[in-house]
């Protein structure tokens, strides 16, 4: 059984990556391909509990190192429970965020640096790397506006508080943004960066183009 294909979506809060992941899943399903969809933090019952701790804005005092360790605890569980079994069964996995998020947010945003994140990645995730990463980078301003509006809506509708990161200052997100760009340049073979304020359809076209090309090359969906 050929191993499955591992695709991750990355970007700032409000970059539209979750919408694009769902559009891609639909595109694949219409072609008879049944991807496994998951997200980080979350995606397992342990991960959902870690997500609550990480995103609740009452957790402001969480130390950056604790935050990074919790991101990796969530990831270790997701790899063991969801990602590895699916890839071993030859399935395509679409994952909303992976280690690039930790490098951008904790490494860049919190200032822990790439080396600390990549060292933890080696230990916790072994050799697991995405086959393809779709990095969505609309302008910083439009991402933040969308993320903050969405959070207010979700909090009003469900009472769920997931606003801890969106509550950060713009300078934090500028550092996250810069780190994402650095990752895209460093890992240009893996990361396809879709930049600019494009429509949902325009981004979807570029996502499909990148995925179709890689999947044909690997011919293993």
Where does this chain bind ligand TMP (CB under 6 A)?
13, 39-41, 55, 71, 97, 101-102, 105-106, 165
- Which of 5, 98 has the CB closer to ligand TMP? 98
- Which of 77, 221 has the CB closer to ligand TMP? 77
- Residues linked to residue 134 through DSSP beta bridges, in sequence order: 9, 192
Q: C-alpha dihedral over 14, 18, 19, 21, to 10 degrees?
A: 140
Min. distance of Cβ 78 from ligand TMP in angstroms? Answer: 10
Q: Quote the CA–CA distance of 77 and 115 in Å, as a whole number.
A: 22
The structure tokens listed for 184 are 């895209």
Min. distance of Cβ 173 from ligand TMP in angstroms? Answer: 9
- Which of 77, 106 has the CB closer to ligand TMP? 106
Q: Quote the CA–CA distance of 190 and 62 in Å, as a whole number.
A: 32
Min. distance of Cβ 80 from ligand TMP in angstroms? Answer: 16
Closest C-alpha to 6, from 165, 177, 126: 126
- Which of 19, 206 has the CB closer to ligand TMP? 19
Min. distance of Cβ 40 from ligand TMP in angstroms? Answer: 4
Closest C-alpha to 197, from 133, 134, 135, 140: 140
């Amino acid at each position: 059984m050929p191993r499955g294909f591992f695709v991750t979506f990355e970007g700032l809060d409000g970059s539209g990556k979750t919408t694009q992941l769902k559009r891609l899943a639909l595109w694949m399903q219409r072609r008879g391909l049944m991807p496994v969809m998951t997200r980080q933090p979350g995606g397992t019952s342990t991960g959902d509990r870690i997500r609550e701790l990480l995103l609740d804005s009452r957790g402001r005092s969480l130390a950056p190192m604790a935050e990074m360790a919790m991101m990796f605890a969530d990831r270790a569980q997701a790899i063991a429970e969801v990602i590895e079994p699916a890839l071993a069964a030859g399935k395509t996995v679409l994952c909303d965020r992976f280690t690039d998020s930790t490098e951008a947010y904790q490494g860049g945003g919190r200032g822990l640096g790439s080396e600390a994140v990549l060292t933890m990645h080696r230990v916790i995730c072994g050799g697991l790397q995405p086959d393809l990463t779709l990095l969505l980078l609309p302008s910083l301003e439009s991402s933040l506006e969308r993320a903050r509006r969405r959070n207010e809506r979700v909090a009003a509708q469900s009472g769920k508080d997931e606003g801890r990161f969106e509550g950060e200052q713009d300078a934090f997100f500028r550092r996250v943004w810069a780190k994402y760009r650095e990752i895209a340049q460093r890992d240009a073979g893996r990361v396809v960066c879709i930049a600019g304020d494009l429509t949902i359809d325009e981004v979807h076209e570029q996502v499909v183009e990148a995925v179709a090309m890689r999947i044909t090359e690997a011919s293993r969906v």
